[in-house]
Structure 1
Amino acid sequence: MSAYSRTRRRATLTATAAACALAVTLAGCSGTTKNDAANETKEKAANATADPDAPLKKNLKIAFLPKQINNPYFTILDGSGIDTVKELGSTGKEVGSSDAKASSQVSYINTLVQQRQDAILIAANDPNSVCGSLKQALAQDIKVVTYDSDTAPECRDAFINQASSEEIGRSQIQNIAKQLGHKGEIAVLSATQNATNQNTWIEFMKDELKKPEYKEMKLVKVAYGDDDDQKSFQETQGLLKAYPNLKGIISPTTVGIAAASRYVSGSSYKGKVVINGLGTPNQMRAYVKDGTVEQFALWDPKKLGRLGAYVAAALVSGQITGAEGEKFTAGDLGEYTIGKDGEIILGPPTVFDKNNIDDFDF
């Protein structure tokens, strides 16, 4: 190498080092981190001003990521949401795994970010595990809406709650207590151990049981069926064998209540053990009509999916930012007001029994 070449090479290296040093001083030589970008995006959103009169944008890409695909509840919910997205002139789709694991959701979130979706709607299987990937979505200015089950507020723009969590949890105890005459041992058959909505409802159930009118009732076990039909069926069997004095099972998950009802309907426990919780009319109709189940509750998942589509489109269009007090109209569902921490409540659940179950088809 000539002296000239060596001199030129040293000059180039020196210039590069100086440029990097300057970059470090200003913003870091390697640039901002993903978390920094996510925080910057959330800060911009917090300072953004909603324009309720802004038209809904068309040709958006909106994806639904349920707790698991092939779950009848989410099939109805996401199907309604996708249909609504199409009505609004955009493209919707459902993606996800057949298991209810948070790790499975993470890989799908990452793919949706790479696909540059305009909005992601997710029913989180874990409040924290998906946050890293969701923050990356926010950093790319992708709107994130949680539905059915929430994450930490900083990981999304808005949360659509089926109904007040307190109302759902307390009503589960109130309903089964009436059936049991406020006496006896009960158990809960939940979904996954980390499901945000399930755990919140269960905490309100436990708090409700502390009231004097439930002094002769006892919660003996919280079991987890992982929103898997066969495991929920087996957990029901295990509960009834482990607690011979069990008088009732609350299953606040559509997979769980259907599996529990199926087991009880074909056993000697039919008519002796009360099954209550949250289910869809089409899943539960046979069990109501054969006397296995007297009543259960749920909101309309079609309306929840429809609301989700409107919220996502409104966020992308700038009609709302997710701030408390903002109002927007969700088509034929009417006007909604955003509550604390970006929560939007669909409305109170419906109680289904033999008198009204044939009025519903979902």
Structure 2
Amino acid sequence: MRTVNSRSAAVGAAGLALALALTACSKADTGSGSSGSDSTGQSTQALNVVFIPKNLGNPYFDASDAGGKAAVDELGGKYSQVGPQQASPDAQVQYINTAAQQHASAIVISANDPKAIGDALTQAKTAGTKIVTFDSDTDPQYRDVFVNQASAEGLAKAEVEGIAKEIGDSGEIAILSAAANATNQNTWIDLMKKDLAANHPNIKLVDTVYGNDDDQTSFDKTAALLQTHPQLKGIISPTTVGIAAAARYLSTSDKKGKVALTGLGTPNQMRQYVKDGTVKEFYLWNPTDLGYLAAYAADSLVKGDISGKEGDSFKAGKLGDFKVGAKGEVLLGDPTAFNSSNIDQFKF
């Protein structure tokens, strides 16, 4: 479904042991495959895509990576998912290195930091691995294509307008974000601040806190926000882990119905909180489609159908045709608003 409205790891024995361990615990073998090209210059390497989310055990990335697996299966390639348990700037480096050492044809990664994984990605690219970022980008020189879930401006505007509507366009609000270095989060927050200053002068952003995409940390940060700011009228959480944890706290607190909560979440996580009145409306795109599109972009890069330059076009299976925009960006579509009137229509 396309939505219509959202250091290097140590080498030697230790590096070998890590590679073997990662191969054993990945969801599917990454394989090696031999690289090469046919007479047209296109790659003859078997498609072998490694998905590296910000962290494992995150429902959002479970959904997006499932979409990636479906696409890779359709394309007759090999799929695997590896990654850190905790989302931190350097935690993804060892997995990038291992994928490159195993000659993955493509890495699809949601970056925990725009620069920290840059050297590892550059080495992978030099070794012949195509790099697709999705959800959260790196600096452009480190990847071939960025598959963006929705425009940053559209997402920021939807969240600001949503909270403004719920609190009568006046009062104190706070932001509960993911990791402090997450590219997408910081981009959205900067745009929200600009929108608030320009269009909502009676709304005051009093605090921005970071739950590191960890449920308990986000839950605790929500409690602390409400204690620190007793006049708080609303919270925006542009992270699926954060909004669900904040909703869980509010749902059993005396602030339920008094402090508005919106942000980015998945319907399956948020359904109970919409139905019990804790949350009126939140936003997202279909993360399964995002992973699916990222896998097709990876395949097109591996085949040589696209290079990541502006104007390149490719077909992404059931999602149809897409074009590469400025700075190698491919846009999935606009965000969708989820509320009591439509949430049961969505099962992700």
TM-score for the superposition, normalised by structure 1: 0.84
Task: Determine the C-alpha separation between the residues in 1 that align with 2:139 and 2:41.
Answer: 28
Indicate the residue corresponding to 2:302 in structure 1.
316
- The structure 1 residue matched to 2:277, chosen from 288, 291, 306, is 291
Q: Report the residue type matching 2:154 in the other structure.
A: E
Contact 1:81 1:307 in 2 (8 A): yes
Q: Report the residue type matching 2:174 in the other structure.
A: A
Find out whether 1:219 has 2:205 as its counterpart: yes
**Structure 1 residue 56: Cα displacement:** 9.2
- The structure 1 residue matched to 2:314, chosen from 328, 334, 337, is 328
The higher-RCO structure (CA 8 Å, 6+ apart) is 2
**Structure 1 residue 334: Cα displacement:** 1.1
Task: Determine the C-alpha separation between the residues in 2 that align with 1:302 and 1:89.
Answer: 18
Unaligned runs of 5+ in 1: 1-52
Task: Determine the C-alpha separation between the residues in 2 that align with 1:301 and 1:65.
Answer: 15
Contact 1:298 1:349 in 2 (8 A): yes
What CA RMSD, in Å, does the superposition of the two structures yield over aligned residues? 1.4
Indicate the residue corresponding to 1:167 in structure 2.
154
Indicate the residue corresponding to 1:306 in structure 2.
292
Task: Determine the C-alpha separation between the residues in 2 that align with 1:170 and 1:60.
Answer: 38
Contact 1:58 1:88 in 2 (8 A): no
Find out whether 1:274 has 2:260 as its counterpart: yes
- The structure 2 residue matched to 1:153, chosen from 140, 144, 147, is 140
Unaligned runs of 5+ in 2: 1-39
Task: Determine the C-alpha separation between the residues in 1 that align with 2:59 and 2:143.
Answer: 25
Indicate the residue corresponding to 1:351 in structure 2.
337
Task: Determine the C-alpha separation between the residues in 2 that align with 1:58 and 1:141.
Answer: 10
Q: Report the residue type matching 2:305 in the other structure.
A: Q
Alignment of 1:1-362 (within 5 A): 59-211=46-198, 213-362=199-348
Indicate the residue corresponding to 1:23 in structure 2.
none
SS at match of 1:103: coil
Q: Could you report, residue by residue, the CA deviation over 1:126-173 in whole angstroms, capped at 9, with x for unpaired residues? A: 000000000001101110000000001000000001000111112211
Contact 2:46 2:105 in 1 (8 A): no
Q: Percent sequence identity over matched residues?
A: 53
The count of residues paired between Structure 1 and Structure 2 equals 309
More helix by share: 1
Distance 1:284 1:56, change over 3 A: farther
Task: Determine the C-alpha separation between the residues in 2 that align with 1:334 and 1:204.
Answer: 30
Q: Report the residue type matching 2:328 in the other structure.
A: G
Q: Could you report, residue by residue, the CA deviation over 1:24-83 in whole angstroms, capped at 9, with x for unpaired residues? A: xxxxxxxxxxxxxxxxxxxxxxxxxxxxx9999683110000000110000011011012
Task: Determine the C-alpha separation between the residues in 2 that align with 1:76 and 1:352.
Answer: 17
**Structure 1 residue 215: Cα displacement:** 1.3
Task: Determine the C-alpha separation between the residues in 1 that align with 2:334 and 2:197.
Answer: 23
Indicate the residue corresponding to 1:38 in structure 2.
none
